[in-house]
Amino acid sequence: QTPKGSCLEAVKIAIDAGYRHIDGAFVYFNEHEVGQAIREKIAEGKIKREDIFYCGKLWNTCHPPELVRPTLEKTLKILQLDYVDLYIIELPMAFKPGDALYPKDENGKFIYHETDLCATWEALEACKDAGLAKSIGVSNFNRRQLEMIMNKPGLKYKPVSNQVECHPYFTQPKLLEFCRQHDIVIVGYSPLGTSRDESWVNVSSPPLLKDPVLNAIGKKYNKTAAQVALRFNVQRGVVVIPKSFNPQRIRENFQIFDFSLTEKEMKEIEALNKNVRYVELLM
Ligand code: A2P
């Protein structure tokens, strides 16, 4: 997804700026660069492995339980690391296993695969027991899918987190409340409203960072709309994973711990919720 080398540079800049949580996936095709950046920073003495929190993801074509551990081992080999801090099921639907990551039939329709998500989860539990993943979680799960895992007979570990789209235009009030009740951390992706790449983003929804309320609040604190959007989520306990390949914006997105929003401002931002996703995941 990224030009060769740009991810390596971005991760090194991010670590220097203070970031420790790195959100990755096999399907981003840059795990080798992420691993190299982490190893270079360890060699420099800037960080230790245990300072980094790396999240990897199980792709849709690897849901059959017997594929889970080999898939995680492949990611670890690419990263050249011994473990990931968090391993999550990227999406609750499975594709036909095989070399094609987006398998399609002759009519261009995705070829799905029947697997039991609970069996996939058990395979993740085994990866945790084997020490290959410190924690396990999910992504893009709704309440019913979370409940299915949590009510599974013989559950050993419940999901520690659920990574979903979350930002001021899509605040996830119900899912957030449910996850709070069950001690599941929400990790918010696209916290800045995405890159608005038409190939996967619903661009009919207006750009988040142009929002007048976010900009006005930012002005008051001498912060940008991006910083206000990130601070909003952090302040209500949602983890954010902003994406940038620009050194200045990477640093900017980390400067959100030296101000706080008032209760009134938090409410104003919450009221921006449009309940419309940028990332529709139509598959
Ligand atoms: P760039 O890489 O040029 O900085 P999200 O995190 O919601 O997926 O958003 C990512 C998009 O937002 C990228 O296109 C990124 O572009 C841009 N971006 C990241 N940080 C900022 C910022 N502080 N201000 C404006 N745009 C940003």
3-state secondary structure at position 268: helix
In CATH, the number for domain 6-159 is 3.20.20.100
| Binding residue numbers for substrate | 113
Mean pLDDT (10-residue bins), the chain, 283 residues: 88 98 97 98 98 98 98 98 98 97 97 97 98 98 98 98 98 98 98 95 96 98 98 98 97 98 98 96 89
Q: Which of 120, 70, 69 is nearest to 94 (CA)?
A: 120
> How many whole angstroms separate alpha carbon 108 and alpha carbon 238?
37
Relative to the CA of 225, which ligand 1 atom is closest? 24
Provide the token pair at 209: 């960072």
Q: Return the amino acid letter for 10.
A: A
**CA-to-CA separations, 125 to 102, 143, 153, 154, in angstroms, rounded:** 26, 20, 14, 11
The closest residue, in CA terms, to atom 24 on ligand 1 is: 226
- 242 alpha carbon to ligand 1 midpoint, in Å? 7
Distance (angstroms) between ligand 1 centre and the Cα of 129 equals 37
- Positions marked active-site: 28
Nearest-CA residue for atom 23 of ligand 1: 249
Q: What separation in Å is there between the alpha carbon of 190 and the centre of ligand 1?
A: 9
Q: Is the pTM of this model over 0.75?
A: yes
User: Positive or negative, the Cα torsion across 35, 61, 152, 170?
Assistant: positive
Among 28, 243, 253, the mutation site with the greatest number of ligand 1 atoms within 8 A of its Cβ is 243
User: Residue 159 has which token pair?
Assistant: 């999901």
| Tens digit of each residue's pLDDT (9 = 90 or more) over 127-142 | 999 999 999 999 999 9
How is the chain split into domains, by residue range? Answer: 6-159
